[in-house]
Amino acid sequence: MIELQVEGMTCGSCTEHVKQALEQVAGVRSASVSYPQGLAAIATDGHVGLEPLIAVVTALGYRARGADGSAGPFDQASGWSGRETTQAGDEQSLHVAVIGSGGAAMAAALKAAEGGARVTLIERGIIGGTCVNVGCVPSKIMIRAAHVAQLRRESPFDAGLSATTPVVLRERLLAQQQGRVDELRHAKYESILECTPAITVLRGTARFRDGRTLSVELAEGGERILAFDRCLIATGASPAIPPIPGLKNTPYWTSDEALVSDSTPKRLAVIGSSVVALELAQAFARLSSKVSILARHTLFFREDPAIGAALTAAFRMEGIEVLEHTQASQVVYADGEFVLSTNHGELRADQLLVATGRTPNTQGMNLQGAGVNLDQRGGIQIDTGMRSSAPDIYAAGDCTNQPQFVYVAAAAGTRAAINMLGGEATLNLGTMPAVVFTDPQVATVGYSEVEAHHAGLETDSRTLSLDNVPRALANFDTRGFIKLVAEAGSGRLLGVQAVTPEAGEIIQTAAIAIRARMTVQELADQLFPYLTMVEGLKLAAQTFTKDVKQLSCCAG
């Protein structure tokens, strides 16, 4: 039995973090950790020394030494004094400043702390960023509630299961939604920060003085000057507001206000034609609002045209009004009503949701003074290693020119931290899957036909309608399609576009197939479980050589 003194644990969760890390060391059979006593007892196979145990505890940001006072070379007890640079033996402990606290920021802060850096995380608003607070989590909860409401109102099985129009108590749904948001924010952000002593949280607004120094206007008052060795900018993005005359003087919603509304408007107009606009438009429609969508072109006009067409058909079947090639030229709000002047006439609504994209949060930070270049959108230009144009300043997430997905942000944050500590990690987005949580869902990965042609690739494509997928037939729901894009000649899979129920559960299999450079024939030869939606990938691959309508069930 080996005992360690562990300093820096501040809560019960810390003990679990230390325990899990110790039990991952080769030769360790079990570990028990006491937060009040500051002790860890490790049962080993007899061939484990003190140094690897101290190393894994130190990597978490705690201080460790043998219970008898002996210390290994990884002991960093002198490295957390709060100075801008600290000493750990003969080496300096790198000071990393992280601006933001969302997915990219948290991933980077934890990875940097794991690597032995001292981290200062600066947040001007609520901990957790967009995803957990006003993005992914609350929207998917609302969308799920709306889906349940729709199934109670109408389903393919109404002939045998009586349907009932549900009573929507939006304030109760909101309380449930926000309760889960608070729970996840505490568990995945606040609690972890509290239990990681290598990370110090500063509440305030950061501004660059130069390429190595920040000025932080503290929320509690006053200013702090913070020197750093490396800095990560992970400030996210905010809803973009189009310059429509009259709009700014009205009480319109962005997604932020829509998600925390405790009521559903009788008539909702939505300006926008992409992810956020369409997810929330359908959710409100299913929660009893009469919804009209104003699309400047068509739905998802930047994607394969079949995607927008399929979703438009599905929305119209639900009674959602989709106004294509429609723009608002003026917005007026009077007597509790929005009046939108458009190129196709006048539209009236009780509430207006504006969801036309998001703008990087890069204003007011003096990025120019720090030597950080921005693109035309105001996003920070970075390379594949998340390095900005300024030495020692990195960026990740929605404030950059990367795709605005939280899993991309987190992956970028981790790699930025590795590189800040001297590594050479890159982020390959060639097989990045994307999912839209409408019903049916939209999921894509790899090249569309148009994108492949722009890349100089000749393609051979097939589209499978869902009336050829046994699971869809069993569900009595054949809305949508699965399309495979292959390289002409070789048959190598280049991309997949799917509009189906559960498309988000299908697309990762496609991503792995593309990453493995599989051909459509190799995909067709794989074993897929019968009566699953993902079997549609196999069937779509079989269409390159067979007429799947002539195949029996499970035909390989």
Residues known to be catalytic: 9, 11, 14, 62, 131, 136, 553-554
Give the residue carrying structure tokens 């960026």: 395
Enclosing H/E stretch for 463: strand 459-465
Structure-token match 């300043």, residue found: 393
Look up residue 416 and give its two tokens.
Answer: 């930025």
Nearest to 402 by CA among 420, 363, 421, 375: 375
Match 């699971």 to its residue by tokens: 471
How far, CA to CA in Å, does 91 sit from each of 53, 74, 419, 440? 20, 11, 18, 56
Distance (Å, rounded) from C-alpha 445 to C-alpha 455? 15
CA-to-CA dists, residue 79 to 88, 257, 467, angstroms: 5, 44, 64
Spatial CB neighbours of 485, under 8 Å, sequence gap ≥ 6: 446, 447, 448, 449, 452, 459, 461, 493, 494, 495, 496, 497
* Pair type for strands 91-93 and 118-123: unpaired
Bridge partners (DSSP) listed for residue 380: 374, 400
What separation in angstroms does the CA of 225 have from each of 200, 206, 217, 218, 228?
15, 10, 9, 10, 10
- For the chain, the distance separating the N- and C-terminal CA atoms, rounded to the nearest angstrom, is 56
3-state secondary structure labels for all residues of 366-403 = CHHHHCCCECCCCCECCCCCCECCCCCEEECCCCECCC
Q: Locate 273 and state its tokens.
A: 């034609």
CA gap 332, 346 in Å, rounded? 11
Cα–Cα distance for residue pair 189/205, rounded to 1 Å: 19
Tokens (6 digits) for 360 = 């990087």
Closest CA to 427 of 400, 453, 448: 400
* DSSP H helices in 154-229: 170-185, 191-194
| Nearest 10 degrees: Cα torsion 121, 127, 132, 138 | -160
CA dihedral 176, 179, 185, 186 (to 10 degrees): -150
- Say what the alpha-carbon torsion angle 546, 547, 551, 556 is, to the nearest 10 degrees: 20
The alpha-carbon radius of gyration of the chain (Å, integer) is 27
Q: Cα–Cα distance between 214 and 191 in angstroms, integer?
A: 26
Q: Is the peptide bond before 440 cis (omega within 30 degrees of 0)?
A: yes
